[in-house]
Structure 1
């Protein structure tokens, strides 16, 4: 039987903002209709399709439950095809550990100019440039530019941000509903 994720196992919620693609591969005549899929364990989310663009702007927030942060989030880009299979346009892994570690430091709102962590591109990560973890509007965020693999060109810009789940609040909310006489 499949194990069901219990509330206690949930470390929090990660919002992945898929901002844009840069210089993506051409898969249809002169362009592509790209979309992004994020896979993390059993979770699978996708963005909408941007028509005829190799520099698409998605600006879409995808929300993932954080259960096992030691595994990277797998990102793949596809070209939407009306007929036949969608063509691959590269992939990359998002290592979320540095961000989770930064979240666990429990820092309070620091000025935006203060870099909590700076991750350098290496052979083992998919970073196209240095990735900075810092506060923006009171929230801890990580700006990421990924270089896509298995494809002739393309980068994806993302932003991670963390959504806290205070356990006390969940408990109170459940209690509150019970009072209102709701069932289920």
Structure 2
């Protein structure tokens, strides 16, 4: 527990125009991975535009790794079908966390990240401070699939605040 810096809440908001993997629809769920950590959302039956609105929490330690996002179609009698994946580099987010700890102002944009060939962003993503918390709204374009985007929000939870809950 000594090397834990805090917690990263990954708010899986919704999917947009996800791939069809059953006859006319899909039963999607999201898997969030970082290192050895693996978290899942609930399955949304027959919905290619699901609204999960689920908050998953990752433990962040000194060794910061990318977050891998995978979307699957739940199948009852066979292996679940892949519906795309994406990766989030959280190093810029963690730099903003360190800046905030150093005493930066509230309600400022720390950094804007633009879509590029080396990231999965569908639109620009701002890392900002809102009510004392570092927040990043992200729309990811899924890779290895014909279509689909995921809307997420990252929120930093400092270690001391998370312990009080």
The TM-score with structure 1 as length reference comes to 0.82
CA distance in 1, matches of 2:104, 2:41: 31
Gaps of 5+ in 2: none
Corresponding residue number in structure 2 for 1:110:
106
Corresponding residue number in structure 2 for 1:82:
76
Gaps of 5+ in 1: 1-6, 174-184
CA distance in 1, matches of 2:10, 2:153: 6
The structure whose RCO (Cα within 8 Å, separation 6+) is larger is 2
CA distance in 2, matches of 1:60, 1:109: 29
Corresponding residue number in structure 2 for 1:8:
2
Match runs of 1:1-184 below 5 Å: 7-68=1-62, 70-106=64-100, 107=103, 110-111=106-107, 114-166=108-160
- The structure that is strand-richer by fraction is 2
Cα shift at 1:11: 1.1
The TM-score with structure 2 as length reference comes to 0.92
| Alpha carbons 2:9, 2:56 under 8 Å: kept | yes
Moved >3 Å (runs of 4+)? none
Q: Deviations over 1:62-114 (max 9, x none)?
A: 00000255421111000001110100000000111111100100245623xx3
Cα shift at 1:136: 2.9
| Alpha carbons 1:109, 1:139 under 8 Å: kept | no
